[in-house]
Chains A and B, each alone.
Chain A
Amino acid sequence: MATLTRNDIEIATRAADHFTRLYYSTYDSPTRVNDLPNFYRPTSTVTWNGNPCEGSDGVKKVMEGMPSTKHEVQSFDCHPIPGSQPPSLLVTVSGNVVHGKGTAGNPVSTPSRSVDGQPRVFAQTFMLVPDPTAPPVKPGEVAKYYIGADAMRFVG
């Protein structure tokens, strides 16, 4: 089994940084219903708070019913998974997310100590895998990756 080089770790970290920026800015954008499924493939396995959805189409359906979001990534980490070349990447993200209009969308009668509309803590883990059928289009691009697995939960 191949061991990880420093270069593998650097590439993986940059990829995770780039990915989390792209992913959540797309998620929070008005074009997300059409754009977010591009990160997935028909074979991707995805759960949203314990609800499974199959592939890009499943993600699209979930996004169609989703209120507007604003994510804030507070922590992320990434490991290259030894065994494949290029390696798959395990990315974990911890942060918070505001849905809809947040507290501003609560009725005026809402008590000030209510948690409704407040940001939720979310935890999301991705398995990013190389797509051997998608040729790299840019110089320097070692491979095109997609989300093979994605588990998201509200955790606070």
Chain B
Amino acid sequence: MELRDQIMGIVDEIGNSEDKLIEILISVQKKSEHHYLSEQSLILIAELLNIPFSKVYGIASFYSMLSTKKRGKYVIQICNSTPCYLYKGKEIVNMFEDILGIKMGEVTQDGLISLEYTSCIGACDQAPAIRVNDRVYGNLDRGKIYKVITSIRRGEL
């Protein structure tokens, strides 16, 4: 019932017209501890907005910031657009994979951290840059990467 109440609350606040679908999806994902849209939540949204489930899923799957797969509590997104990728971006991918012991696209076993790529996040002047949930970290090097990961693990982020 918790999920139902939560989503009904969001739809009440944003509105249930079809054009609000994306705002609702963003909002529901934001409230999800693991930054994703579960099947059940998409079904509920489909019901409340009276849109076919397949369409809700289709639209959610179009946008790369929305996920229908469970992710870590912290989603580390490494920019792989040219200004970052060519500007030490490749190296920091290796560093993250090394330190976390997972590959890009995977989640740490404890479910804490996901590693993903993202297209340009507009932090090209601080290349190489990453996003951790909503925050951007730039000019990364090994030291800064350790700092970010340590503060995630300590729950300081």
Chains A and B belong together in one complex: no
> What is B's interface to A at a CB cutoff of 8 Å?
none
